[in-house]
Amino acid sequence: MNTFHTLLGSLLIATSLHAEFTTEQQQVPLEVLPKDAALTKIVLIAGSTSNKPGQHEYFAGCALMMDWLEAVPGLAPVMVAEGWPKNETVLDGAKAVLLFLDGGDKLSYLEPTRWAKMQSLADAGTGFIVLHQGIDCPADKAATFKDWFGAVFQSDIGCRGHWDVKFDSIPTHPINHGMKPFALPGDGWLYNLHFADKGVTHVLACPMPDSSRKSDAAKAHAGRAETVAWSYERANGGRSFGFTGCDLHANWADANQRLLVLNGILWSAKIDVPTSGLASEVTPEALKANWDRKVFLKKPAAVK
Protein backbone atom coordinates (compact mmCIF):
# COMPACT_ATOMS: atom_id res chain seq x y z
CA MET A 1 0.00 0.00 0.00
CA ASN A 2 1.46 3.38 -0.95
CA THR A 3 1.41 6.49 1.24
CA PHE A 4 -1.48 8.06 -0.66
CA HIS A 5 -3.74 5.05 -0.17
CA THR A 6 -2.77 4.81 3.49
CA LEU A 7 -3.75 8.44 4.09
CA LEU A 8 -6.96 8.06 2.10
CA GLY A 9 -7.97 5.00 4.09
CA SER A 10 -7.27 6.77 7.38
CA LEU A 11 -9.39 9.75 6.35
CA LEU A 12 -12.30 7.52 5.36
CA ILE A 13 -12.20 5.72 8.66
CA ALA A 14 -11.97 8.94 10.67
CA THR A 15 -14.82 10.61 8.77
CA SER A 16 -17.64 8.36 9.92
CA LEU A 17 -20.40 10.97 9.60
CA HIS A 18 -21.33 13.31 6.78
CA ALA A 19 -22.79 16.43 8.34
CA GLU A 20 -23.99 18.81 5.64
CA PHE A 21 -27.47 20.23 6.21
CA THR A 22 -30.15 18.40 4.28
CA THR A 23 -32.38 20.31 1.87
CA GLU A 24 -35.12 20.08 4.49
CA GLN A 25 -32.89 21.43 7.25
CA GLN A 26 -31.86 24.35 5.05
CA GLN A 27 -35.45 25.61 5.29
CA VAL A 28 -35.24 25.98 9.09
CA PRO A 29 -34.41 29.59 10.08
CA LEU A 30 -31.17 29.79 12.05
CA GLU A 31 -29.90 32.65 14.21
CA VAL A 32 -32.83 34.88 13.24
CA LEU A 33 -33.22 37.55 15.90
CA PRO A 34 -36.70 38.63 17.03
CA LYS A 35 -37.96 41.77 15.31
CA ASP A 36 -39.57 42.97 18.52
CA ALA A 37 -37.07 43.55 21.34
CA ALA A 38 -39.89 43.27 23.85
CA LEU A 39 -40.25 39.55 23.16
CA THR A 40 -38.59 37.03 25.47
CA LYS A 41 -35.70 35.47 23.57
CA ILE A 42 -34.97 31.79 24.13
CA VAL A 43 -31.89 30.45 22.33
CA LEU A 44 -31.87 26.75 21.38
CA ILE A 45 -28.38 25.43 20.60
CA ALA A 46 -28.36 22.17 18.63
CA GLY A 47 -25.16 20.17 18.53
CA SER A 48 -23.43 18.87 15.42
CA THR A 49 -24.23 15.54 13.77
CA SER A 50 -23.74 12.65 16.20
CA ASN A 51 -24.57 8.97 16.75
CA LYS A 52 -26.99 6.80 14.78
CA PRO A 53 -30.12 7.92 12.92
CA GLY A 54 -32.88 8.49 15.46
CA GLN A 55 -30.44 9.17 18.29
CA HIS A 56 -28.83 12.50 19.14
CA GLU A 57 -31.07 14.23 16.60
CA TYR A 58 -30.12 17.59 18.04
CA PHE A 59 -31.16 19.64 15.03
CA ALA A 60 -34.53 17.93 14.65
CA GLY A 61 -35.23 18.11 18.39
CA CYS A 62 -34.45 21.82 18.58
CA ALA A 63 -36.54 22.49 15.47
CA LEU A 64 -39.50 20.84 17.19
CA MET A 65 -38.96 22.89 20.35
CA MET A 66 -38.73 26.06 18.29
CA ASP A 67 -42.10 25.32 16.69
CA TRP A 68 -43.73 24.64 20.06
CA LEU A 69 -42.30 27.77 21.66
CA GLU A 70 -43.23 29.99 18.70
CA ALA A 71 -46.86 29.23 19.53
CA VAL A 72 -46.50 30.88 22.96
CA PRO A 73 -47.40 34.59 22.96
CA GLY A 74 -44.47 36.78 23.96
CA LEU A 75 -41.76 34.20 23.26
CA ALA A 76 -39.17 34.41 20.51
CA PRO A 77 -37.20 31.18 20.13
CA VAL A 78 -33.95 31.48 18.17
CA MET A 79 -32.34 28.29 16.90
CA VAL A 80 -28.60 27.78 16.53
CA ALA A 81 -27.01 24.77 14.80
CA GLU A 82 -23.61 23.05 14.90
CA GLY A 83 -23.08 23.65 18.60
CA TRP A 84 -22.41 27.38 18.71
CA PRO A 85 -23.73 30.52 17.00
CA LYS A 86 -21.91 31.92 14.01
CA ASN A 87 -22.83 35.33 15.46
CA GLU A 88 -22.37 35.30 19.25
CA THR A 89 -24.53 38.39 19.68
CA VAL A 90 -27.47 36.01 19.18
CA LEU A 91 -26.89 35.06 22.83
CA ASP A 92 -27.01 38.62 24.15
CA GLY A 93 -30.14 39.37 26.12
CA ALA A 94 -31.45 35.81 26.04
CA LYS A 95 -33.63 34.93 28.99
CA ALA A 96 -32.60 31.30 28.65
CA VAL A 97 -30.21 29.18 26.58
CA LEU A 98 -30.88 25.50 25.88
CA LEU A 99 -27.95 23.18 25.21
CA PHE A 100 -28.74 19.95 23.34
CA LEU A 101 -25.39 18.58 22.21
CA ASP A 102 -22.58 16.12 22.79
CA GLY A 103 -20.76 16.34 26.11
CA GLY A 104 -17.40 15.40 27.54
CA ASP A 105 -14.42 16.31 25.38
CA LYS A 106 -16.84 16.97 22.49
CA LEU A 107 -18.48 19.97 24.16
CA SER A 108 -18.75 22.73 21.60
CA TYR A 109 -17.86 25.57 23.97
CA LEU A 110 -14.64 24.37 25.61
CA GLU A 111 -12.60 26.85 23.55
CA PRO A 112 -11.61 29.70 25.94
CA THR A 113 -13.53 32.56 24.33
CA ARG A 114 -16.71 30.47 24.11
CA TRP A 115 -16.26 29.31 27.69
CA ALA A 116 -15.91 32.95 28.74
CA LYS A 117 -19.15 33.76 26.90
CA MET A 118 -20.94 31.00 28.81
CA GLN A 119 -19.58 32.41 32.07
CA SER A 120 -20.82 35.86 31.14
CA LEU A 121 -24.29 34.44 30.54
CA ALA A 122 -24.23 32.71 33.92
CA ASP A 123 -23.05 35.92 35.58
CA ALA A 124 -25.94 37.81 33.96
CA GLY A 125 -28.47 35.37 35.43
CA THR A 126 -29.38 33.78 32.09
CA GLY A 127 -31.42 30.61 32.44
CA PHE A 128 -29.79 27.38 31.30
CA ILE A 129 -31.42 24.18 30.08
CA VAL A 130 -29.14 21.21 29.49
CA LEU A 131 -30.33 17.94 27.94
CA HIS A 132 -28.92 14.43 27.73
CA GLN A 133 -25.13 14.09 27.69
CA GLY A 134 -24.59 17.85 27.61
CA ILE A 135 -24.24 17.55 31.40
CA ASP A 136 -20.97 15.61 30.94
CA CYS A 137 -17.71 17.58 30.85
CA PRO A 138 -13.95 17.16 31.35
CA ALA A 139 -12.98 16.79 35.00
CA ASP A 140 -11.31 20.19 35.20
CA LYS A 141 -14.62 21.85 34.26
CA ALA A 142 -16.81 19.92 36.71
CA ALA A 143 -16.90 22.53 39.48
CA THR A 144 -18.03 25.21 37.02
CA PHE A 145 -20.70 22.91 35.62
CA LYS A 146 -22.14 22.53 39.12
CA ASP A 147 -22.15 26.31 39.48
CA TRP A 148 -23.88 26.80 36.13
CA PHE A 149 -26.24 23.84 35.92
CA GLY A 150 -26.52 22.52 39.48
CA ALA A 151 -25.15 19.10 38.47
CA VAL A 152 -22.45 17.40 36.48
CA PHE A 153 -21.87 13.89 35.19
CA GLN A 154 -18.43 12.45 35.93
CA SER A 155 -17.32 8.89 35.32
CA ASP A 156 -15.95 8.51 38.86
CA ILE A 157 -19.44 7.79 40.21
CA GLY A 158 -21.75 8.32 37.23
CA CYS A 159 -23.43 5.61 35.19
CA ARG A 160 -24.94 5.68 31.72
CA GLY A 161 -26.72 3.40 29.31
CA HIS A 162 -29.92 2.59 27.39
CA TRP A 163 -32.99 0.96 28.91
CA ASP A 164 -36.71 1.39 29.57
CA VAL A 165 -37.72 3.48 32.59
CA LYS A 166 -40.95 4.21 34.47
CA PHE A 167 -41.78 7.36 36.40
CA ASP A 168 -44.38 6.17 38.89
CA SER A 169 -44.32 9.33 41.00
CA ILE A 170 -44.43 12.93 39.79
CA PRO A 171 -43.24 15.37 42.50
CA THR A 172 -44.91 18.74 42.95
CA HIS A 173 -42.97 21.40 41.08
CA PRO A 174 -43.89 23.96 38.39
CA ILE A 175 -41.74 22.03 35.90
CA ASN A 176 -43.98 19.00 36.45
CA HIS A 177 -47.27 20.84 35.88
CA GLY A 178 -49.67 18.72 33.86
CA MET A 179 -47.58 15.59 33.99
CA LYS A 180 -48.83 12.14 34.94
CA PRO A 181 -46.92 8.91 35.65
CA PHE A 182 -45.39 7.67 32.41
CA ALA A 183 -42.78 5.39 30.86
CA LEU A 184 -40.08 6.04 28.27
CA PRO A 185 -38.78 3.08 26.27
CA GLY A 186 -35.21 2.58 25.17
CA ASP A 187 -33.82 6.02 25.92
CA GLY A 188 -30.26 6.81 26.96
CA TRP A 189 -29.71 7.92 30.56
CA LEU A 190 -26.99 9.42 32.72
CA TYR A 191 -27.41 9.17 36.48
CA ASN A 192 -25.62 9.30 39.83
CA LEU A 193 -24.56 12.86 39.14
CA HIS A 194 -22.62 15.24 41.35
CA PHE A 195 -25.12 17.89 42.52
CA ALA A 196 -24.53 21.38 43.86
CA ASP A 197 -24.72 21.68 47.65
CA LYS A 198 -27.53 24.24 47.58
CA GLY A 199 -30.35 25.28 45.31
CA VAL A 200 -31.11 21.90 43.70
CA THR A 201 -34.58 20.34 43.62
CA HIS A 202 -34.89 16.78 42.34
CA VAL A 203 -37.73 17.02 39.83
CA LEU A 204 -37.93 13.50 38.41
CA ALA A 205 -36.42 10.17 39.46
CA CYS A 206 -36.87 6.52 38.55
CA PRO A 207 -35.40 3.11 39.35
CA MET A 208 -32.45 2.02 37.25
CA PRO A 209 -31.35 -1.55 36.45
CA ASP A 210 -28.87 -2.64 39.10
CA SER A 211 -26.84 -4.16 36.27
CA SER A 212 -26.18 -0.60 35.08
CA ARG A 213 -24.46 0.35 38.34
CA LYS A 214 -20.83 0.16 37.28
CA SER A 215 -19.22 2.45 39.86
CA ASP A 216 -18.76 1.50 43.50
CA ALA A 217 -20.71 4.61 44.54
CA ALA A 218 -23.66 3.53 42.39
CA LYS A 219 -23.51 -0.09 43.56
CA ALA A 220 -23.78 1.14 47.15
CA HIS A 221 -27.30 2.41 46.37
CA ALA A 222 -28.82 -0.58 44.60
CA GLY A 223 -32.57 -0.15 44.15
CA ARG A 224 -32.57 3.58 44.76
CA ALA A 225 -34.59 5.80 42.44
CA GLU A 226 -32.10 7.99 40.58
CA THR A 227 -32.59 11.62 39.64
CA VAL A 228 -32.65 12.29 35.90
CA ALA A 229 -34.29 15.76 35.98
CA TRP A 230 -33.64 18.61 38.37
CA SER A 231 -34.07 22.35 38.85
CA TYR A 232 -31.40 24.67 40.21
CA GLU A 233 -31.59 28.19 41.58
CA ARG A 234 -28.19 29.81 41.38
CA ALA A 235 -26.89 32.18 44.04
CA ASN A 236 -27.22 35.16 41.68
CA GLY A 237 -30.88 34.38 40.93
CA GLY A 238 -30.32 32.56 37.64
CA ARG A 239 -32.12 29.28 37.08
CA SER A 240 -31.14 26.02 35.42
CA PHE A 241 -33.00 22.86 34.46
CA GLY A 242 -31.46 19.55 33.44
CA PHE A 243 -32.80 16.29 32.02
CA THR A 244 -30.53 13.43 31.02
CA GLY A 245 -33.03 11.78 28.65
CA CYS A 246 -33.78 12.94 25.06
CA ASP A 247 -31.30 10.55 23.42
CA LEU A 248 -34.05 8.78 21.48
CA HIS A 249 -35.84 11.14 19.10
CA ALA A 250 -38.99 9.00 19.00
CA ASN A 251 -39.69 9.81 22.64
CA TRP A 252 -40.69 13.38 21.73
CA ALA A 253 -43.99 11.68 20.88
CA ASP A 254 -44.63 11.34 24.61
CA ALA A 255 -46.67 14.30 25.89
CA ASN A 256 -45.13 14.01 29.37
CA GLN A 257 -41.58 14.36 28.05
CA ARG A 258 -42.65 17.41 26.06
CA LEU A 259 -44.31 18.92 29.14
CA LEU A 260 -41.21 18.30 31.23
CA VAL A 261 -38.82 19.99 28.80
CA LEU A 262 -41.08 22.85 27.73
CA ASN A 263 -42.07 23.60 31.32
CA GLY A 264 -38.37 23.47 32.23
CA ILE A 265 -37.60 26.06 29.56
CA LEU A 266 -40.30 28.41 30.86
CA TRP A 267 -39.21 27.95 34.48
CA SER A 268 -35.55 28.59 33.64
CA ALA A 269 -36.55 31.78 31.81
CA LYS A 270 -38.57 32.87 34.89
CA ILE A 271 -41.84 32.65 33.01
CA ASP A 272 -44.85 31.36 34.94
CA VAL A 273 -45.62 27.78 33.96
CA PRO A 274 -49.33 27.22 33.23
CA THR A 275 -51.12 25.14 35.84
CA SER A 276 -51.70 22.41 33.29
CA GLY A 277 -48.22 22.82 31.79
CA LEU A 278 -47.19 24.06 28.34
CA ALA A 279 -49.09 21.69 26.10
CA SER A 280 -47.87 20.82 22.61
CA GLU A 281 -48.73 18.51 19.77
CA VAL A 282 -46.59 16.53 17.36
CA THR A 283 -47.45 14.43 14.32
CA PRO A 284 -45.64 11.35 13.03
CA GLU A 285 -44.60 13.45 10.03
CA ALA A 286 -43.09 16.15 12.27
CA LEU A 287 -41.12 13.50 14.16
CA LYS A 288 -39.56 12.39 10.88
CA ALA A 289 -38.56 15.91 9.87
CA ASN A 290 -35.11 17.48 9.94
CA TRP A 291 -33.07 14.40 10.85
CA ASP A 292 -29.35 14.75 10.27
CA ARG A 293 -27.73 13.14 7.27
CA LYS A 294 -25.74 10.31 8.82
CA VAL A 295 -23.70 8.21 6.40
CA PHE A 296 -21.52 5.65 8.12
CA LEU A 297 -18.60 4.58 5.97
CA LYS A 298 -17.25 1.07 6.19
CA LYS A 299 -13.58 0.52 6.82
CA PRO A 300 -12.01 0.34 3.33
CA ALA A 301 -10.42 -2.89 2.20
CA ALA A 302 -6.64 -2.94 2.02
CA VAL A 303 -5.40 -1.45 -1.23
CA LYS A 304 -2.49 -3.30 -2.78
Kindly report, residue by residue over 51-72, the tens digit of the pLDDT. Answer: 999 999 999 999 999 999 999 9
How much is the pTM? 0.91
Phi, psi of 109 (to 5 degrees): -120, 30
Where are the chain's structural domains? 39-287
Cα-Cα-Cα-Cα dihedral sign, residues 214, 105, 22, 279: positive
Are residues 135 and 153 in contact, defined by beta-carbon separation less than 8 angstroms?
yes
- The amino acid present at 197, given as its one-letter code, is D
DSSP 3-state assignment of 266? helix
* DSSP state for residue 153 in the 8-state scheme: B
Mean pLDDT by 10 residues, the chain (304 residues): 38 45 97 93 97 96 98 97 97 98 98 98 98 98 98 97 96 98 97 98 96 94 96 98 98 98 98 98 98 69 42
Alpha helices (runs of H) in the chain, residue ranges in sequence order: 3-14, 58-70, 112-123, 142-149, 216-219, 255-268, 284-287
Query: So what's the pLDDT on residue 295?
Result: 75
Q: How far apart are CA 301 and CA 245, in angstroms?
A: 38
pLDDT at residue number 37 = 87
Q: State the DSSP string of 190-251.
A: EES-EE-SSSEEEEEEEE--GGG--SHHHHTTTT-EEEEEEEEE-TTS-EEEEES---BGGG
Report the pLDDT value the prediction gives residue 296, as an integer from 0 to 100: 59
Listed in sequence order, the residues at least 6 apart from 194 whose beta carbon sits closer than 8 Å to its beta carbon are 142, 146, 151, 152, 153, 154, 157, 158
pLDDT for residue 241: 99
Q: Output the CATH code of domain 39-287.
A: 3.40.50.880
Q: How far apart are CA 143 and CA 60, in angstroms?
A: 31
